[in-house]
A and B are shown apart, each in its own frame.
Chain A
């Protein structure tokens, strides 16, 4: 499957109508950017700035929007696979690890053992018949990651998937994600509020504003791969970035040290 066009986001306005308890608010306004095929693009912004909303629109879960999101299309003309790794693993607790991945595959891919191969690559080979309730938080996210890659997506959306994991487990998962992405290249939109994570993972970082969200800074991460989490190179890149765009990113830098940061 040759993917010929990347992701193009052009959202004029995304508004949530209030419902008595919550006042109406505009989550996104004039948000435009393109992601070339195969690029690993990180979206960085304060909590509540509409990042999840954007992913939901791209995933086709939310159609109530003024604007359009063009997802990578292939030469067959059919809508290519979009896959989504949510903030929580969202596994089906009544299905084994194997079935949790197989359930999203078409019968052909299931029969040739594509799901099991991916799970083995994620070091879950000995947990194929376990139920998710028996797994650790890191293991559950590896299952979710295997599921996300299993459908051979043309676009992979990730919504702060490694939040609330401790540092070593999170770093290991980030490495697994990069390994798999390099083995199976695809366009990636990775949402985070952690600047170090974005620098470690991304080819490019888009900084979003407080809501209504728009792009305030577009930064290419020109560090050579493989990168090392917490390495001097990443640290230097971060310092340079904050020096150059300190004013613009001030609110965000605070958010990276305080994940509980919220919008008024």
Chain B
């Protein structure tokens, strides 16, 4: 793929609050039409960084450029190209959805009633748009927030933990929506503390911990670095375990050594956790069958964010 034009360029961003350094050194580029993930645990400096991108916080050092304009020096030109929701989509509860959109449209050049109608249709809010925001559910506020962010036809849409508080159906819809926007050429910057979410949504990712960017790269590339697990379930767990243990190409992982998400493990009782090369799986499976062990389940599990961190920081952990 040809290198696309850089929409957002962050260089050497630092922030010190009350003499305490919060953000040490954050640099990354977001290109046109890509979905860029910003991954890090809570408290790692994601939100502080995002606030610096949109001029809510002044950086102590470093630059943020949007479409070539410096957010610090030319905020009016730079912010024109950004639509954003920082944390929760907070809109005026005493105004209707429509009035909120009109309010923010007045703050932008060349946004007319037709454009407002257009964004309302994009987020599918035609039914309730004249109701007071006070009466909206969180999902609807999220949609209205996105509609607001889209008003000025931004080149870059920044969403801070957009799936927080949404139900699974809402999350799926949001994911499809984000892909649709990217397909139209918009760049998206999505922060999250969940690796799975970033894996499902993003093309590239920056991983941040304790105010430092640990890695920037393609999502698949980074995830494969951290490896993954293969989980086995069999009718006779002990026999299967013995057979797997006898194979030098299979590494058994005890329960205390892996950091697989608890919700996944609890759904797979008595699973044997292994690390194994993908092209060896068929061979192991054949041998299990030959030994008369009926395999009831086999599943690949991606590493958790925590493990990815362990790999990237070589054992330092996340917090």
B is a partner of A: no
Binding site for B on A (CB under 8 A): none
Binding site for A on B (CB under 8 A): none
